[in-house]
Chain A
């Protein structure tokens, strides 16, 4: 059997980490044991930010990254981080076989990795805060906020917030003590990381979509048998569906669980979302256009088709 080491950053209990495990078993099954997949989660083999280089360079065969992690290396991967760009579940259902996905796969191949799986992780985020809810762009003026990355944070800055970056392990206490006032996070994570103990208002917003995608080293992929390649292709398609189901499930339960913990949960209204979009979208789009040029425009056009 051919060893296939896959690194990712998610903790074992995360709903997408479990989809990765399921995907690994499926690959082994479909390849009839030709591929021996070993999953190393929780940053245990390669750190989150180093996965891309490790696979491209051939240190390991396979890894999963969140789209943020491509940063300036392949800025077009950030497209779904754009405020309200890929907010609907319907669009995500069409994603794996869409022209947009094929376009990104092409870009990844040109960069030097072969994409094998798209795992939609969330489109439900929360703005968490204490004392008052963040329901309009004006509410963000002058607050210190833990952001999620340069591309998305442009939108927060446009609303007047000051974004702070800090290691994940420090966020809870920073929120508890007011080193930062607010945060944006995936709604399920707000529950699993116990933000409800230190924040009492959360506004549910479909502001961004994040996905984890799996990719392998291209020359290693080329050396595989047709059966193994087909197994990867097939398992990738199944995993996209599993991830979608798991994410919808995770997002569905969280708001109620948060309310049970005493958080005032507010689901942003259409008008409120429009207001956020009006301020955040242009700020993001400007940076995105600058970094991605024609390719960015083409991709946004393709995404328009599946909305």
Chain B
């Protein structure tokens, strides 16, 4: 069910917007991967601190929660580009090439619509949190708009990745 193989294996020379989109997705993916390592190290360090030093690190829990949001938001576009997002592809499996093309178009349109709505809503949330002056409740007590704004980044990355795939799809039809 893993969908299309990696787009970068397409024989055609990729267009400039395609390459730009790819670079952005990868950058987001790399940041996301680094954050996974950060969470891993932080959790391991907190175990060490508790048992060996007898002094737990404060705020690890809270930071981890925020980092999970960032990990997802930064990584989602790369996962989309690589066709990782799970889908039910019974229809795909039984469809001819023409129907498949339309289904693929429909599916990308769905991702773009969802991401755009998420972008609009995230923007409102971030702006509201800033003016309201909302802080996190745990030991970190950081302004909420900071972790929330990773959603804006994530939505934009997803839109770009989906648009690039859409352009490829349309070019494919041309051939």
Write the residues of chain A forming the contact surface with B, with a CB cutoff of 8 angstroms: 49, 52-53, 56-57, 68-73, 111-112, 142, 144, 149-150, 162-167, 179
Closest A-B pairs by Cβ, 9 of them: A72-B135, A71-B137, A72-B141, A73-B135, A164-B56, A150-B139, A57-B128, A73-B134, A49-B137
Other-chain residue from A49, A53, A163 in contact with B128 (beta carbon distance below 8 A): A53
Q: How many A-B residue pairs have CB under 8 A?
A: 59
Contact B55 A53 (CB under 8 A): no
Could you tell me the distance between the alpha carbons of A13 and B134 in the complex, rounded to whole angstroms?
A: 30
Contact A144 B61 (CB under 8 A): no
Interface CB pairs A-B, < 8 A, 29 = A49-B136, A49-B137, A53-B125, A53-B128, A53-B129, A53-B144, A56-B132, A57-B124, A57-B128, A68-B137, A70-B137, A71-B135, A71-B136, A71-B138, A71-B141, A73-B133, A73-B137, A111-B132, A144-B56, A149-B137, A150-B139, A150-B141, A162-B54, A164-B50, A165-B58, A165-B61, A165-B138, A165-B139, A166-B61
Contact B134 A53 (CB under 8 A): yes
Contact A142 B54 (CB under 8 A): yes
- Chain A binding surface SS class: helix
Give the nearest-CB partner of A59 in chain B. Answer: B125
Count of residues in B whose CB is under 8 Å from the partner chain: 22
B residues 24-83 touching A (CB-CB < 8 Å): 50, 54-56, 58-59, 61-62
Give the nearest-CB partner of B137 in chain A. Answer: A71
Contact B135 A112 (CB under 8 A): no
Could you tell me the distance between the alpha carbons of A68 and B132 in the complex, rounded to whole angstroms?
A: 18
Contacts of A162 in B (CB 8 A): 54-56
Contacts of A56 in B (CB 8 A): 128, 132
Could you tell me the distance between the alpha carbons of A46 and B150 in the complex, rounded to whole angstroms?
A: 20
Contacts of A167 in B (CB 8 A): 61
Could you tell me the distance between the alpha carbons of A208 and B59 in the complex, rounded to whole angstroms?
A: 23
Question: Quick one: given A162-B56, A164-B56, are A57 and B137 in contact (CB under 8 Å)?
Answer: no
